[in-house]
Amino acid sequence: MDNIVITIARQYGSGGKTVGQMLAKELGIPFYSRDILRLASEDSGISEGLFGEADEKLKNNPLLRLTKNVYDGDLIPPESGEFVSDKNLFNYQAKIIKQLAETQSCVIVGRCADYVLKDYPNVMSVFVHADEQFCFERAMERNSMSPKEMKKFIAKVDKYRGDYYRYYTGQNWTDARNYDLCLDCGKLGFEKCMEEILAYRKVRFGV
């Protein structure tokens, strides 16, 4: 297989992004996270700021968990009043994710990439999680908040990620059935998580 894509979904503080960056470096392939917003902006001609604003608007929508806007793959044309809607901004991100999967090996973190690429035979999906204490300690190392503030922040971020995933996929973000691998970084650590992913990659794709 010419190109293999690894998607990573992760709890806040679990180390999923770090594992993804380590994988990309080990394999010598690109790593994508929020870069997807820039690429989608360049492709669509829509301001990159609007992509970020859409994320923030969803974060502050108290009804997010009660609504769905499941991705169907259809782009809305520029002449439509819905061209810069939340749905179409996600559609363009998904377009970029598909283009990457079709043209190169890479690691993609977040953005519901596992769902967008669920029918691609060259894609393996990973969910990285950890216990509350591990996530809390890692988050405290990187942020200046009180312990109480940090616990609330972690809960808020994970709730948003779960709601965001459900909004665009109609599925449960933490459902193991959505992923090829679910790894507890708190028990394995970064290196062992990377090794497990590489081992699965070899068994699945023979490389």
Are 108 and 97 in contact by the 8 Å Cβ rule? The answer is yes
Residue 1: what pLDDT? 61
* Element spanning 109, H or E: strand 106-109
Give the C-alpha separation, 89 to 83, whole Å. Answer: 8
- What CATH number did the domain enclosing 140 receive? 3.40.50.300
User: What does the pLDDT read at residue 5?
Assistant: 97
Host domain of residue 86: 5-205
What is the number of domains present in the chain?
1
The pLDDT score that the predictor gives to residue 71 is 85
Residues 43-62 have a mean pLDDT of: 80
Give 124-169 pLDDT, tens digit per residue. Answer: 999 999 999 999 999 998 888 888 999 999 999 999 899 889 989 9
Question: Amino acid identity, residue 98?
Answer: K
Per-residue pLDDT reduced to its tens digit, 72-119: 888 988 888 889 888 899 999 999 999 999 999 999 999 999 999 999
CB within 8 Å of 74: residues ≥ 6 apart:
91
Q: Which of 139, 82, 109, 105 is nearest to 3 (CA)?
A: 105
